[in-house]
Chain A
Amino acid sequence: MGSARLYLAVAARGFRRYASYRAATAAGVFTNTVFGLILVYTYLALWDERPDLGGYDQAQAVTYVWLGQCLFAALALQGGGVETELMERIRTGEIAVDLYRPADLQLWWLAGDLGRAAFQLLGRGVVPFLVGGLFFPTALPTRFDTWVWFAVALLLAALVSFGIRYLVALSVFWLLDGTGVSQVMMILGVFFSGMVLPLNVFPGGFGEVARALPWAAQLQVPADVLMGETAVAGAFAFQAMWAVLLLVAGRLVQSAATRRVVVQGG
């Protein structure tokens, strides 16, 4: 039980740490709102041309846009969560300090990242979402239980998101420089999470593959759960499968890294 309190404390610190940058948060809210506005207009034009595209109506497409802006920072869809710091610590050798802490490395960083995600969801995500709901027709559920399922989907999405970024960060044990992998992660993250276009609009076999990748669990699946476009159990199973797979992989890579790699230092 004691260790649960430890990770809770780490998560709380993660939350407070990001909460201290108020100007940056306000700036992020503004930028996300502007991007949402631009995307909404293009989506409206697109759905004008093809109503029912990807199984969404116009209101659902609008909701999807604002949900994307809402989750963009919280789920660190293009990176920029705790993994940037983790990479830097591996590069400089400071990771040695983390390794002899009486805490599990993966859980420690996961807790910190969940704290960060919680703040960025509340601090950066809610306002653009409200602005979108206020000025555009959206398709939000009226039933309370749908919102509960949505919250569960978000938590699972946060786990998947961390799972991907943790693996990427650990690669620095071998690569020593994270610039390249971060760039690849950014490219894949933005495109395959559906920030450019909802994945259910992707055509043919390409679309099928895109919808089966772990990035789909981050934005597309929570959006479909929120708008009642998917069976909840199947959605959770898909997200949980990727979360478990990625976290287990992270654990394996972590033990390989700590056993075989000489820490950088000086």
Chain B
Amino acid sequence: MLEGLRAYRMIAGMWVRSGMTYRVSFVVTLFGNLVMTGLDFVGILLMFSQVDELAGWSLPEVAFLYAASVTSFGLAHLASGSMQQLGSRIRDGSFDVLLVRPVPVLAQVGGDRFSLRRLGRLAQGGAVLGWALVAADIDWTVSKVLLVPLMVVSGAAIFVAVFVAGAAFQIYAQDAAEVQNAFTYGGTTMLQYPPAVFGKDLVRGVTFVLPLAFVNWVPAAHVLGRPYPLALPGWVAFASPLVAAGCCALAGLAWRTGLRSYRSVGS
């Protein structure tokens, strides 16, 4: 485990140095990343130029949801390297190279093509989060102050689990890699809007089956003092780290199973 983390750090560091070789290109793509991911928020701003509330939630409240979702997703995306592109590595046979190196494969895939320009998403998410925390009408308590960073970190861990599970899925269905976008990008988009917007069954699904709701919906409902559409006990708002740990364990299991059944294309 420790050895894996060390290897991850070294591989990621190598890619950071390589990315920094072309400084102008790095700055431009970082900025592009910031603008591109920020357009979702511009969309929300445009919506609120026409309405005062969305399903009863005000702009700062929706901004809080948006920022929590984007920041968690941004952290996970940064940490997961080229996991999304695993399918193409399997197709061209370069995945085999990773298997013969004396380093855990997941650490290699996670560190592979590690790119700091993904900080763009994180930066704009963080900026919106800062604004939302000031602008939203929140009844601050000590536990709520602690809950915000806990929510972001747990949310990132949940998304990392989704990325790892997606990578495991690609071992089986190489061409169908796009399916995972529905859960990664689709997930982060859905979580930007109040849970009350969506149908009850959909909310149940992302609470109990694929627990994305613990990225931000459930803890944010507590911080903002908003009722959650499903009747959940109060302590659940603090359950995100537990959910994240469970997700990571399951994703790790899926990854192991996928790796065991991997068969090289032979090229």
Chain A interface (Cβ < 8 Å from any Cβ of B): 21-24, 26-28, 30-31, 34-35, 37-38, 41-42, 44-46, 48-50, 53, 179-180, 183-184, 186-187, 190-191, 196-197, 201-203
Contact = CB atoms under 8 A, between A and B. Distances in A.
Given A184-B32, A196-B39, A196-B40, A49 B177 contact: no
Contacts of A31: 178-179, 181-182, 186
Contacts of A180: 25, 28-29, 32
B49 interface: yes
Interface residues of B, number: 39
A196 B43 CA distance: 6
A183 B29 contact: yes
Contact of A35 (B25, B28, B42, B189): B189
B132 to A, nearest CB: 18
Given A46-B54, A183-B29, A30 B46 contact: no
B233 interface: no
B176 A24 contact: yes
> Max chain A CB contacts within 10 Å: which of B25, B32, B176, B198?
B176
Contact of A203 (B40, B46, B53, B199): B46
Given A21-B175, A41-B197, A179 B29 contact: yes
Given A34-B186, A191-B39, A196-B40, A45 B177 contact: no
A184 B31 CA distance: 11
A58 to B, nearest CB: 14
Contacts of B40: 196
B29 A203 contact: no
Given A42-B193, A196-B39, A196-B43, A23 B176 contact: yes
B232 interface: no
B51 interface: yes
Contacts of A186: 36
Contact of A190 (B39, B190, B194): B39
Interface in B189-223: 189-190, 193-194, 196-199, 202
B42 A187 contact: no
B261 interface: no
> Max chain B CB contacts within 10 Å: which of A28, A35, A45, A50?
A45
Contacts of A34: 182, 186
A46 B175 contact: no
Given A31-B179, A41-B197, A196-B40, A50 B50 contact: yes
Main secondary structure of the interface of A (DSSP, over half): helix
Contacts of B173: 23, 27
B253 interface: no
Contacts of B177: 24, 27
B176 A42 contact: no
Contacts, number: 100
Contacts of A197: 43, 46-47
B55 A30 contact: no
A50 B35 CA distance: 28
Contacts of B50: 46, 50, 53, 201, 203
A34 B190 CA distance: 10
B55 A45 contact: yes
Contacts of A203: 46, 49-50
B46 A201 contact: yes
A38 B190 CA distance: 6
* Smallest CB-CB A-B distances: 5 pairs: A196-B43, A23-B175, A34-B182, A27-B176, A27-B178
A38 B189 CA distance: 8
B54 A27 contact: no
Contacts of A179: 25, 29
A30 B179 contact: yes
Contacts of B189: 35, 38
A38 B50 CA distance: 20
B231 to A, nearest CB: 21
B168 to A, nearest CB: 16
Nearest to B51: A49
B188 to A, nearest CB: 10
Interface string B22-65: 00010011001001100110110011011111110000000000
Contacts of B47: 46, 197, 201
B209 to A, nearest CB: 14
